[in-house]
Amino acid sequence: MGTAGARFMVAKQLAASGGLYLELGSTRLAMDPGPGAVVQYAKRKVDLSRLDGILVSHRHLDHCGDVNVVIEAMTEGGFRPRGTLFCPSDALDEDPVVLKYLRHFPEEVVRLQPESPYQLKEISFRTTRRHIHGVETYGFRFGDGDIPNLGWVTDSKYYDGIAEDHRAQVMLIHTVLAQSRPDLPHLGLDDAERIIAEAQPRLAVITHFGMGVWRAHPWEVAAQLSERTGIEVKAARDGMSLEV
C-alpha cells in the first residue's frame, strides 16, 4: 500500500505511505497503516470492512498515522465490532496513537510482547526481540518452521542477531538510509546488505525508503545488492503484490 518511509518522504508523498497488506486464505491483515493508508486501500479496492486485524510495529506516525481511521473502517464505524489490533503498549499508554473512544471497536486489542507467538485466524506470526528504535518496536516472522515464509524487518538500528531474528524465505527490509549513521536508529543500505548476506533468503525486498534511498533510485540499488550478495533483491513499488 506504499513504500515511503520517514518524515520527508511521507510529507512530500513522493511514494505512498500506506504500509503493507497481507492475505492468507480468508484472513486479511493491515500492517503499519501510515498516513493515507485508507486512500491506498480504496484505490486498490481492498474492502477494509473485511479486515481481520491490524498490526502496528511501532507508534511513529509513518507506521500508524491512519490506524484510527482503519479501525473505524474495519468495524464499520464501530457499529460492527470486529477484528484484532496488535500494537506495542506505548501506542496505547502515554501520548497514545490509538484514540481511546474507538478502542472497544475491535473485538480485541493485543499488546505485543518480545519474542512471542500470535495467531490471527490462519495467520501465525512471532515478534522478534525489541528493536533499537527509540520507541517500543518489534520485527516479525510469519509462518512456521525454522525458516518461515516471511520476515519483516521493521525500523531499527542494526544489531547483532537482526538477520537471524528475521530469517525467512522472503524478507522485507525497511531501508530508510542510503548509508547507516551512528546518530540515527535506522537501517542503511549497508545494513540491508549485511542482513541479506547473513540470512540468505530466497528473495529480499527493500521498502520504506527514506529520501536518500529514493534519490539513489531503489530499483538500481536493489540490482546492486543482488549483484553483491548473489541473492535476488527487489525494490518494492507502491501497489506491488507478491506471492509468498
| Residue of closest CB approach to Zn ion | 60
Neighbours of 164 (CB within 10 A): 11
How far lies 219's CA from each of 41, 208, 210, 222, in Å? 24, 13, 14, 5
**Least distance (Å) between residue 6 CB and Zn ion:** 7
Query: Judged by CB, which is closer to Zn ion: 73, or 211?
Result: 211
**Least distance (Å) between residue 186 CB and Zn ion:** 7
For β-strands 84-87 and 108-111, DSSP reports them as parallel
Query: Judged by CB, which is closer to Zn ion: 66, or 155?
Result: 155
Query: Judged by CB, which is closer to Zn ion: 83, or 139?
Result: 139
Query: Judged by CB, which is closer to Zn ion: 60, or 166?
Result: 60
Neighbours of 160 (CB within 10 A): 6
**What is the widest separation between alpha-carbon atoms in the chain?**
52
**Least distance (Å) between residue 18 CB and Zn ion:** 16
Query: Judged by CB, which is closer to Zn ion: 155, or 193?
Result: 155
DSSP assignment of 190-228: HHHHHHHHHH--SEEEEESB-HHHHHT-HHHHHHHHHHH
The footprint of Zn ion (CB under 5 A) covers 60, 155
**Least distance (Å) between residue 238 CB and Zn ion:** 19
Q: Which three cell numbers stand for residue 137?
A: 518496536
**Least distance (Å) between residue 60 CB and Zn ion:** 4
